[in-house]
Chain A
């Protein structure tokens, strides 16, 4: 059999192939979700139109989507970075809330500073605490042989308990009677929106920038290459003399720092203090985003926006069609199951990718003989 494929198209195919499982998963989700809506006698097309309108249909919807996506980009990195080194970390929620708490108390313990300096200090505190917390999971795995998935999940529960204890006990603002919180952040230190016509706080910019930096780190740096060797084959990495333990710790610490930074923005741009409202499931949604993005930092930006859109549209679905909130959860659940199911295609995708890449490299042949 002979196929005529121009080399440029072959190269394009090779580049686009990693997205194939995600595209198929999204397509299957659309089909399954439509069947679900149809079975419940919900107008499928109207619901679809509302989902689009609520997520991406207007500037307001875009703001809505991006605001929800901002923390997810950072919490997804908490999963994706350690995943480069072969770890499955799911405890980002704990790093987020402790990071948020650290950010909230920083201005209380520091002398008055110009806002920009204070933001740097708050971000540094949040990232240090978040990095330490996820670093613990990495350390327990490397040194004590504790499974990092279970370890990070349990540590996350501990983090939430510690957070509640501190916010409702030693760090509580006595004036916060029925909603225990830390002392409110002075207005001067609160992070505002990008502009009045684009009502999204700076956490979005931070999320995108950090994802871009993460991309450079994992794809275009020596350390990033070392991470993937550790993730690909830890024995080979050891034989090469790579400092495996340190590399694992670094990915965990960086991931935790990203989640901590998300907590800082939640405090500085949204809540104005640390309180139980920080425990909003951003860490858990980040897991979904990271898996959907195949742990690729650039894809995380896209997937976070997609998930932010789904959540934003749930609001409109409830109001216009009177659907319960669980509808959005079902959509997210179907999406996640599909992502995992289509993941099985990955081995083949790799094979096809090498195949197409080779064709892209052979411009003289034009017609390629195959099979």
Chain B
């Protein structure tokens, strides 16, 4: 029989106090206490992909009856399998968010099969019904909408009409962002071009700095990127007096002068949905996707440098995206060698699977895959 010690007394008193003070909590008091685990592939404060996840996890930490446990810098090896198992066996986690794309196959699948009573909500959109276990699932956001808006703002602000993009690998997700950014900018002025440099991997700070410098030397005056941590790029650009658009999380603090806006994840939305389903005992939603409208992605507040005209234009585009009136990939779209990729009259909506296999650079992108 455990004796009520001081710590648990304080905890109980705290919960009691909080629930009487806040009526909202009373309604939630019926929710089961749950333990939720978050696993990140990099550092929680990387100003990028992992920070976007950690910021949302911090919000989940504040929910009543939810205990959050976290691990950072977990590589996509047997380490992540063991971290997931340890969360389950040592901490009693009932829901795990393995947040890196590369965790899913084979790691999440393997562990999910071994622990059918635990839920695994993977970030990346790879789950398929019938193929993968039912206690696993994926969620992902259409962040190309944010990159399109980045492009609109960059298109207004650029004087040289040359934009720069530092990309990790020429894979569909990255190309979709790069193309959306370019299409957004060229919707402002079709003369605009985007120069792309691929670094080869998700986190190569030295190469990213070299790429940023090289793009600036070539005359690009607005930079953005798709790498895990945009910190180096944003800092390099700020130092050299060049503007930037952010990615993953807000990098505004790193570039008070040149930061225009940014495409950010808003993982709070899917996280909350999964945690609430677990607490209420509802079945797991295995496949969740959304863009700006569904609250899966958001944009950084405009920086001080952004002109009123740019703000007005971007706000208008955003409003039509929120009303689902604007599709980014609307034909005709040519690749940068002149071939028609999306025919005139064809509108690819976000759910279209063709977009998930994107393997070309749109007209206006300087570079090759």
Residues on A close to B: CB < 8 A?
A: 54, 60, 63-64, 67-68, 161, 164, 168, 177-180, 201, 266, 270-272, 275-277, 280-281, 311-312, 315-316, 318-319, 322, 324-325
Contact = CB atoms under 8 A, between A and B. Distances in A.
B257 interface: no
Contacts of A271: 77, 106
Contact of B71 (A275, A277, A325): A325
Given A164-B200, A178-B124, A60 B71 contact: no
Contacts, number: 85
Interface stretch (B85-93, B157-165, B185-193): B85-93
Tell which of B77, B106, B170 has the most Cβ of chain A within 10 Å: B77
Given A60-B86, A315-B82, A180 B69 contact: no
A68 B77 CA distance: 10
B101 interface: yes
A56 to B, nearest CB: 14
A68 B170 CA distance: 32
Interface residues of B, number: 37
B173 A178 contact: yes
Interface in B285-324: none
A322 B105 CA distance: 28
Nearest to A177: B172
B73 A270 contact: no
B77 A318 contact: no
Given A179-B105, A180-B171, A64 B86 contact: yes
Nearest to A324: B72
Given A164-B201, A178-B124, A277 B82 contact: no
A295 to B, nearest CB: 26
A280 B82 contact: no
B171 A276 contact: no
A319 B357 contact: no
B43 interface: yes
A325 B43 contact: yes
A177 B101 contact: no
Given A177-B171, A319-B69, A281 B75 contact: yes
B206 to A, nearest CB: 12
Given A179-B101, A266-B77, A315 B83 contact: yes
Contacts of B201: 164, 276
Contact of A179 (B70, B89, B102): B102
A201 B77 CA distance: 13
Interface in B169-227: 169-173, 200-201
A318 B87 CA distance: 11
Given A60-B85, A281-B75, A315-B82, 14 more contacts: A60-B90, A161-B200, A178-B101, A180-B169, A270-B81, A277-B75, A315-B71, A315-B79, A315-B83, A319-B71, A319-B86, A324-B72, A325-B71, A325-B72
A177 B72 contact: no
Contacts of A315: 71, 74, 79, 82-83, 86
A270 B77 contact: yes
B114 to A, nearest CB: 9
B339 interface: no
Contacts of B134: none
A270 B78 contact: yes
Nearest to B114: A199
Contacts of A64: 82, 85-86
A275 B82 CA distance: 20
Interface of B: 37, 43-44, 69-79, 81-83, 85-87, 89-91, 101-102, 105-106, 124, 169-173, 200-201, 356-357
Which 7 A-B residue pairings sit nearest by Cβ, starting from the closest? A325-B73, A277-B76, A319-B69, A272-B106, A280-B75, A280-B77, A64-B82
A304 B38 CA distance: 28
A278 to B, nearest CB: 8
Nearest to B45: A324
A51 to B, nearest CB: 14
A318 B76 contact: no
A276 B105 CA distance: 13
Contacts of B90: 60, 316, 319
22 contacts: A54-B86, A60-B86, A60-B90, A64-B82, A161-B200, A164-B201, A177-B171, A179-B102, A179-B105, A180-B171, A270-B81, A270-B106, A271-B77, A277-B75, A277-B77, A280-B76, A280-B77, A311-B79, A316-B86, A316-B90, A319-B37, A319-B70
Contacts of B83: 315
A316 B69 CA distance: 10
A192 B171 CA distance: 31
B172 A178 contact: yes
Contacts of B77: 266, 270-271, 277, 280
Contact of A312 (B75, B82, B169): B82
A319 B91 contact: yes
Contact of A177 (B71, B73, B102, B356): B356
Contact of A318 (B72, B75, B81, B106): B72
A68 B79 contact: yes
A47 B169 CA distance: 40
Given A168-B169, A272-B106, A318 B71 contact: yes
Contacts of A276: 102, 201
A271 B90 CA distance: 25
Nearest to A185: B106
A271 B124 CA distance: 18
Contacts of A63: 82
Nearest to A164: B200
Nearest to B124: A178
Tell which of A271, A272, A277, A322 has the most Cβ of chain B within 10 Å: A277
A204 to B, nearest CB: 11
